Structure 1
Amino acid sequence: MEIKELKKIAKDRMKGYCRLCKECNGIACAGEVPGMGGKGSGESFKRNYETLKNVKLVLKTIHDVKDPDMSVEIFGKKIDLPFITAPVTGNSINMGGFLTEAQYSDYVVFGSIEAGTFAMTGDSGNPQFYIDGLNSIKKANGIGIPIIKPRENMKIIENIKKAEETGAIGVGIDIDGAGLLTMALHGQPVGPKTVDELKELTSSTKLPFILKGIMSVEEAELAVEVGASAIVVSNHGGRILDYTLGVAEVLPKISKAVKGKITIFADGNVRNGVDILKYIALGADAVLAGRPIIWGAYGGGKEGVKLIIENLKEELKQAMILTGCKDVKSIDSSKIINLNKQF
C-alpha cells in the first residue's frame, strides 16, 4: 500500500470526522471538538501549523554525511528515530467509530514497535479506553507508555499502579487535559494540579513520569522541580484552549531553560520527517504526532501505522543528509532559520 491509497481509505472510513486535507492546517475542521479539529476558532491548531511552517531548513551538501544515524535512547530504550506515537483515544467520539478502541490501541502499539519505536496510549471520559491501551501494552511486553487524564490524584495513582503491572516503559499525565470538553461530556472530573499534587504523583512510582501539555518556561521549570522525567511541549493539538501560541514558538526558550535537566518532547502538527528535524533543531529530544498515526490505523491497521512511521523515517533521513546532520545530536539551531518572533 502507498501513502496516497492509505489516506483515501482512511478518509472514507472517518466519515467526515477528518477530511484529510492536502494541508493539515486546522482551517476546514475549526471548532470541531468533539471531532478532529481545534477548539473554538481553531486558532491554536492553525498556529501550530503556521509557526512550524515558519521554521526553514538550511540546505548543506558539501560534507560526508551519507547514512545518518537517526537512533536515540528514551528512558533506556533505543529507538530507530526520534519519534514516538502520541496518545490518542476516543474513536467513537472523535474519529467516526470505524475502529474499536481496542483495535486502535493494538494497531498503534504494534505498528509503532514494528517501525522501530513505541507508542503512548491515552485516557478518556470512558475509563475502559485507558484499560484498552494498557491491554495492548501488556501484550507488547510493556513496550509503550500510558498517559492519564488529570483526574483526582487517588484515581491517577490507581491508574499508575495498573501501568506498572503491564511493565510499561514510563507513565504520565496530559495535564493540559484539565479543560478537555470530552471529559466534561462524560462526567469525569479533571482539573489543574498543584506543585504538591504533582510531587505526590511523581513520588508514587519508580517509572519515568511525563508531564504532557507544557507551554511556558515557568511550567517547564516546575516540571523539573516536581521530579518529572520528561515534558511534552504541546497545546493538545489546539483542542483545549483557543488562541494559544504555537509549539514552535515556545520550544526554544523552554529548551534553553531546562535542556539537560529533563527530557523534552515536542508535539504539534508533525506531518512529515522534515517537521521532526525542525523540532529537534528547536530544542526537542524527540517528537510526537497523533493525527498521521490515526490516518495510518484507519487506512491500513497495524501495517498502516508502520507505513506512516517508516515514511517519516525516510523523510527524516533525507532531511538529515541535505542539512549535513550525521546523527540526531548534530541537529541544532545552525540547521534552521526560525522566522517566528520569539516571546
Structure 2
Amino acid sequence: MMELTASAPGKLVLLGEYAVLEGAPALVLAVNRRAHVRIEVRSDGVCDVHAPDLGVSGARMTVEGGALRWRCDDVAAAKLSLVEHVWQGLVREGLAPEAGEGFSLHLDTSGFFHVDGASRAKLGLGSSAALTVALASALAAFAGHADVLSDRTQWLRRLLHMHGGWQGGRGSGVDVAASVAGGLIRYQLAGQAREPTFAPLPWPMTGVHCLFVWSGQSVSTNDFLQRLAQWRVSRAADYASHMRELGTLSEAGLDALGRQDAQSFVELTKAYASALQQFGHACGLEIYSPEQKKLADMASEAGVSYKPCGAGGDFGVVFADDPERLATFERAIVPAGMHVVPLGLDSDGVSSHMRLARNLPPSRILT
C-alpha cells in the first residue's frame, strides 16, 4: 500500500504587514508549527477526507471528469471548502489526481492550536496557508507531478492562485511564501505584475533578540482584509498615505537588518509599530487588542520594541538589541498573565515523502 505525506510550516510576519499588500518588503519567519497531510491509497475505489480539527470524519467525495464532487452533508462540505479550492486550482494547473483510484485524505492542523485543559484556541500562525501548501504538494505528488515542487518560486506562484481564491483575492501571499520557503525571508510583490519574490535571510538576526507573545484571543484575518478593502475604496487618499509611511519604514528596517545595525532595526520596528497603531485607528481595525496595548506600554517602559504580527490582535513580537533587557521584560509580563510562546525557526519549508509499504522507511520526494 502506498502512503504519501506532506507538511508545511506556519509563519509570523515580523515587519511589513499591510504595507506588503502595496509592494513593500516584509520580513517573515517560518515557525515550527506544521500542517500535515497524509494520503493513503484505497483498494475499494472510495475517496474520503478526515479532518479532526474541523470536526470532519470520513466525508465522502468522488472525482468526476477531474472535478471534485462531495457526497457528504452540506455542513461537512462547507468545512472542507479549502480542500475544494485547492483541488480546483490543481485542475486548472493540470496537476490534480485523475478519477479511478480511491484514497483517504487525512488533514492535521493540531499544531496551530493552543490547548489548556478542556479549552482550545486557534493560534494566528497561518494555518490555512500551511494547509494549502501541504495539501497541494501532497496531491500533486500523488498525481505523479512531484517535479513541480522542486522550483519553489514557481510553485509559490501557482499556489498563490489557489489560496488567494479562497481568501477572495485579498491576501499578499506572505504566509504561503513562508510555508513554501521556510526560514527567515524577505518577501515582496515586485513590479507592476506583482510577482511574488523571496530571498532567504540569516537566523538568528545578528544582534537582534526577539520574543513571541500571544494575546490569548483568535482573530479572523479574512474579516480584517475584507474591512480593509472597503476602507481602501472609501478613503483612497488616506489609505495611500498610511501605506507610504508603513512601506518606507519597512524598507528602512530591512536595510538596517542587512547592514547588521541591530540598534537601528529595533528603533525602526518601534516606529513601524507606532505607524501601525495610527493606521488601525484611522481605518477602524483593532490591530492592537487591549492586551497588546498593555504590552506595548510595558515594552516602552522597558526600553524594548513591541509590535503585532500580521493582521493584529493575536501574536506579537518583542525586539531588543540587549538580551538582558529582553529577559527582564519577559519576567515582567508573565505575572501579568501574558502568554510567551516558545516558537522556533522552521528551516525546511514544504516537504513531502512517499512510503511504499508500512514496514519500509520513507523515501524523500522534496526537502
Larger radius of gyration: 2
Q: What range is the shorter-chain TM-score in?
A: under 0.3
Q: TM-score, normalised by structure 2?
A: 0.26
Q: TM-score, normalised by structure 1?
A: 0.27
